[in-house]
Amino acid sequence: MPNADVSIYANRGAQLMASNGIRIREDVLYTDEKGEESERRRKRGEKALEKLKEVLPAILEGDETVLYVVSQCKAPADILEQLTMGWYIQVITATTLVFTNRRILHFGVTTKGKWKKTLKSVRWRGIAEATVKGWISRQMILKYANGKKDVYWGLNGKDGKKVKAIFEAMMPASRGEAGAEPGMTSLCPECRAALSAGKYSCGQCGLGFKDEKTLAWRTILIPGGAYFYTRVWFLGIASGFADGMFSLVFLYSALAAMNPGILEPGKDGTRPAAEGLWVVAGFFLFIVCLHKLIAYRHGRRAVRTYLPLDRS
């Protein structure tokens, strides 16, 4: 594995220190994108560590040293998720990235930086290629040894330049490491053991997580249920209202189609034909199903980040 004192900037030697019980590289975390001393960057770095001081010491291994912290960026999201979730995708995907001499740590956070108990990591040896692209808003692209790829987005320009410098140093330094690495892997927030895809309990400490089967039933039976289950309250309320309204129109149209007599006659004394009412009912049934399908897909994305259940 790369040493903690691996050179990041040619104009500076490694400066290791401890802050809040965390080993850090002062010459990287507290400097600007050129490796120059920056009081503003120091304050920013200290603030980032302050938010993670309760959890990070327990996660770091032995002599693992923090190089840099990207306080806010966005986790990978596909085009469909971005289009159907709109601006709220910025909230759902909020992420803090911690770069160490051994790996990259992914913390799911709120927009204010509070940890949501979702954790992932990938060791440097598991990354086949790492690049930073973009101009004002940067993308961090990680291609893993197992062939998969993640695109983190929404990095600001200065963070992008720092991350690029870290990649240029760490990628060559990690090439000689032995052992297979699966890529970005979810970890248990309590015991830090690796979690298995599709298995919603920790095999080491027994911590349970929200699962796809429960998500499916709540999506079907409860208006807005997918969002309430994954604790996305704003979308749950909005979706529940829309879901309920569409369902009521469907039910009313279907009942009217089966018994047109419940409808008031029009000015000409006639009532809508049953065939037309069935068309209306079918249309709103389609809308309800589509709405629930999209909500389930959004919920599944959240569930697959491993949302821990409250301990009873």
Which has more confidence, 179 or 235? 235
For 57-113, give the DSSP string: HHHS-TT--EEEEEEEEE----HHHHHHHGGGHHHHTEEEEEEESSEEEEEEE-TT-
Q: Which amino acid makes up residue 148?
A: K
pLDDT at residue 262 is higher than 90: no
| Rounded CA separation 38/161 (Å) | 15
pLDDT at residue 194 is higher than 70: yes
For 116-172, give the DSSP string: EEEEEEEEGGGEEEEEEE-SSEEEEEEEETTS-EEEEEEEEHHHHHHHHHHHHHHHH
**Contact, 52 vs 96, CB < 8 A?**
yes
In this structure, the number of other CB atoms found within 10 A of the CB of residue 145 comes to 16
- pTM, two decimals, is 0.90
Q: What's residue 263's pLDDT?
A: 60
Per residue in 51-90, pLDDT (tens digit) is 998 899 999 998 899 999 999 999 999 998 989 998 899 9
Which three-class secondary structure state does DSSP give residue 265? coil
Q: Pull the structure tokens for residue 63.
A: 């002599």
pLDDT at residue 207 is higher than 80: yes
In this structure, the number of other CB atoms found within 10 A of the CB of residue 129 comes to 12
Q: Which of 167-171, 201-205, 265-269 has the lowest mean pLDDT?
A: 265-269
Per residue in 10-53, pLDDT (tens digit) is 888 888 988 878 999 999 999 988 888 889 999 999 999 999 98
